[in-house]
Structure 1
Amino acid sequence: MSERHDLTVQISGLRHTYESGVEAVAGVDLTIAPAERLAIVGQNGAGKTTLVRHLNGMVRPTEGTVQIGDWNTADKSIAELSHRVGYVFQNPDEQIFARTVSADVAFGPKNLGVDDDEVTARVADALDAVGLAHEADAHPHHLSLSERKRVAIAAVLAMQAPIVVLDEPTTGQDEAGVHLISRIIDDLAARGRTVVAITHDMDFCVENFDRVVVMARGTVRADGRAAEVFAGREALEAAAVEPPQLARLARALGWREAPVDPVQFVDALERRRRA
């Protein structure tokens, strides 16, 4: 089953209240364009994970709608939505279950009805992408947390969904692992896929995502390009989010600007020198 890569995500008036009575998402309107890189940030309990779990049907709206292209998620099963949305859990042990790494990665495409030769090719490509080709026959739970996280990512890559959701992708990763995940995000974007990530790592956020959404108490407090979002103190304070390192340095220097990467910082410094 081939899937289009021009799927817009449209979230309208979304609310979700758990059986405990906790309202985790309290009225969110959000549009995510095809091939967009979007990071969602905010403190624990802000509603980030509940929000993105609506995309693949793990959580259903209490009110409002979630559209994936021409599909209303309320009308589709999780199995159907997996054709369009791949989801990498924050805790890989919630996702890994097979006796070998290769079997775990093969499970998704097999369930999508992909033929055996294509499954084999997808598994090889996905394990190569996450640097675990040499662990194909290993038991996943004999691997480190960092490696298990990358097995979970490989499993989603092998499904080749047009939309990929990454919940805290850098958890447990060393510097090399973080760079590898950045390359995966670059590759997904180059292939026209949409990438949505939840992250507490603001430097990783600004290095890899064009658009940032700030959430607090189940609502969107800011939404825009990284430099614009991290220049706004009110939304960040409401969400208990610290800006990236360079933005914090600029603030400490008394700048009104909030450069979020080295190029922006140097440009801002040059403008101040010329002023």
Structure 2
Amino acid sequence: MSASVRFDGVHFSYPSGVEALRGVSFGVEPGERLAIVGQNGAGKTTLVRHLNGIFQPSAGTVHVGDRPTTGRSIAELARQVGYVFQNPDEQIFASTVRGDVEFGPRNLGYNADEITARAAAALQTVGLADHADSHPLHLSLSERKRVALAGVLAMGTEIVVLDEPTTGQDARGVELIAGIVESLSAEGRTLIAITHDMDFCAEHFGRVVVMAQGQVQADGDPREVFGCDAALELAAVEPPQLFRLARHLGWSRRPLQVDEFVDAFEVETRG
């Protein structure tokens, strides 16, 4: 079901001359859950926009599956890569929520019944089934972000890219997004998220890449990466709150989730 991703020595410069990526290299295995973190301007969004052909590398190569993205159209890559933009208004264009969500599967060539079924299922998943006939611009920002997510879910792509998925979401919305991440992972999809939400990152992603100044500064298991103080400082990133609290308390353990914190509390305070 899923596909791999590979960045090999990727450089990218904007027409203004700003070099956004400076030799980025790493791979993402099929079915992996990867979070990319770092301050604004680190090159995160520029990097992942190479996956659906919006950008082509100035130097180096990007592979989606076993083929490079160079020479492949956005429409072709959309069959493999579903990209949910940080700003949903860059992605939503139809006059109804249903029409917007149906656009992707229609372009992929599904028949009318399948398009209807996929759109209905996606809207149910993101909690917007009751808004199918609404104009997207009549919805809140958090709801519009979920419309954009539904459009990608309806396409059923092997790779799903989420750019700041929890921004603008309330607690219920974050919980819903988390459930979708877990569900997609259970289906074997490859998941790549850009996020400033370190708690969400620690709870739902098995690998973290830290970026700063257009380069990878750290890459690995969240517990390992969030202990890389120099890389985090360069990227202007703070570890998750439970990790920081445990460090402040002088514990030897570094929990990332509530159940881990409870277990650590019992061990660290025993006796």
> What corresponds to 2:195 in structure 1?
199
Q: CA deviation at 1:253?
A: 1.5
Paired-residue identity, % = 64
Asked if 1:233 is matched to 2:229, the reply is yes
Asked if 1:154 is matched to 2:155, the reply is no
Cα pair distance change 1:97/1:6, threshold 3 Å? closer
What is the CA–CA distance in structure 2 between the aligned matches of 1:228 and 1:257, rounded to whole Å? Answer: 12
Which 5+ residue runs of structure 1 have no aligned equivalent?
none
Map Cα deviations across residues 46-71 of structure 1 (whole Å, 9 max, x no partner): 00000110111111100100111122
Asked if 1:107 is matched to 2:103, the reply is yes
What is the CA–CA distance in structure 2 between the aligned matches of 1:116 and 1:161, rounded to whole Å? Answer: 18
Q: Which residue type is aligned with residue 85 of structure 2?
A: F
What is the CA–CA distance in structure 1 between the aligned matches of 2:132 and 2:2, rounded to whole Å? Answer: 33
Asked if 1:218 is matched to 2:214, the reply is yes
Specify the SS of the correspondent of 1:206: helix
Q: CA deviation at 1:75?
A: 2.1
Q: CA deviation at 1:180?
A: 0.4
TM-score, length basis structure 1: 0.96
Map Cα deviations across residues 191-228 of structure 1 (whole Å, 9 max, x no partner): 11011000001111111111111000011111111111
2:2 touches 2:159 (CA, 8 Å); kept in 1? Answer: no
- Map 1:181-192 to 2 at 5 A: 181-192=177-188
Specify the SS of the correspondent of 1:67: strand
Q: CA deviation at 1:258?
A: 2.6
> What corresponds to 1:87 in structure 2?
83
What is the CA–CA distance in structure 1 between the aligned matches of 2:253 and 2:230, rounded to whole Å? Answer: 15
Specify the SS of the correspondent of 1:131: coil
Q: Which residue type is aligned with residue 167 of structure 1?
A: D
Asked if 1:170 is matched to 2:181, the reply is no
Specify the SS of the correspondent of 2:110: coil
What is the CA–CA distance in structure 1 between the aligned matches of 2:254 and 2:228, rounded to whole Å? Answer: 9
Q: Which residue type is aligned with residue 200 of structure 1?
A: H
- Map 1:233-252 to 2 at 5 A: 233-252=229-248
1:105 touches 1:154 (CA, 8 Å); kept in 2? Answer: yes
- Map 1:28-39 to 2 at 5 A: 28-39=24-35
Residue of 4, 9, 15 corresponding to 1:8: 4
Q: Which residue type is aligned with residue 78 of structure 1?
A: I
Residue of 124, 127, 133 corresponding to 1:131: 127
The number of residues matched between the two structures is: 271
RMSD: 1.2
What is the CA–CA distance in structure 2 between the aligned matches of 1:270 and 1:186, rounded to whole Å? Answer: 28
Q: CA deviation at 1:273?
A: 4.3
Specify the SS of the correspondent of 2:105: helix
Which 5+ residue runs of structure 2 have no aligned equivalent?
none
Residue of 249, 253, 260 corresponding to 2:249: 253
TM-score, length basis structure 2: 0.97
What is the CA–CA distance in structure 2 between the aligned matches of 1:13 and 1:42, rounded to whole Å? Answer: 19
Q: CA deviation at 1:266?
A: 3.1
What is the CA–CA distance in structure 2 between the aligned matches of 1:31 and 1:270, rounded to whole Å? Answer: 38
Map Cα deviations across residues 84-126 of structure 1 (whole Å, 9 max, x no partner): 0000000000000000000000001101111111000000000
What is the CA–CA distance in structure 2 between the aligned matches of 1:247 and 1:70, rounded to whole Å? Answer: 38
> What corresponds to 1:55 in structure 2?
51
1:130 touches 1:180 (CA, 8 Å); kept in 2? Answer: yes
